[in-house]
């Protein structure tokens, strides 16, 4: 195997590892987002866990941030909570940074 092949395999491994970490961070972000929205809606502890799990499942079913954004925004609106999509998107960005930090620190 040439040095070039070894280097290429190293880049491929790094890419796979980075994608796996990003998947974990996004799932954690969605859980944190579900907990945040559930608290705004006044859910009890069991309801918070169920709602957060539903938000994680929603993203696994249809990958991408837009479905999560729409789901949480719609749920908050249905509960009478005045939060714009921009505010939810900002919270998603904030929580993704927190989730990445937690994963990097091994939490």
pLDDT in tens, 84-103: 999 999 999 999 999 999 99
What is the pLDDT, as a whole number, of residue 4?
66
What is d(CA 43, CA 27) in angstroms, rounded to the nearest whole number? 21
**pLDDT at 57 > cutoff 70:** yes
Percent helix, strand and coil across the chain, each to the nearest 5: 85, 0, 15
Q: Is 24 exposed, middle or buried, given 0-12, 13-18 or 19+ CB atoms closer than 10 A? A: middle
Higher pLDDT, 25 or 60: 25
Minimal CA–CA distance to 76: which of 34, 16, 15? 34
Name every residue whose Cβ is closer than 8 Å to that of residue 27 and which is 6 or more positions away in sequence: 56, 59, 60
In this predicted structure, the answer to whether residue 81 has a pLDDT above a threshold of 80 is yes
Enumerate domains of the chain plus CATH numbers.
Answer: 3-104 (1.10.790.20)
């Amino acid at each position: 195997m040439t040095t070039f092949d070894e280097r290429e395999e190293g880049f491929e491994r790094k890419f796979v590892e980075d994608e796996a970490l990003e998947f974990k961070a996004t799932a954690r972000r969605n859980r944190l987002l579900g907990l945040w929205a559930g608290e705004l809606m006044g859910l009890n502890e069991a309801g918070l866990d169920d709602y957060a799990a539903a938000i994680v499942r929603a993203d696994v079913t249809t990958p991408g941030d837009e479905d999560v954004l729409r789901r949480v925004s719609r749920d908050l609106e249905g509960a009478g909570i005045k939060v714009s999509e921009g505010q939810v998107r900002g919270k998603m960005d904030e929580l993704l940074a927190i989730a990445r930090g937690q994963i990097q620190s091994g939490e």
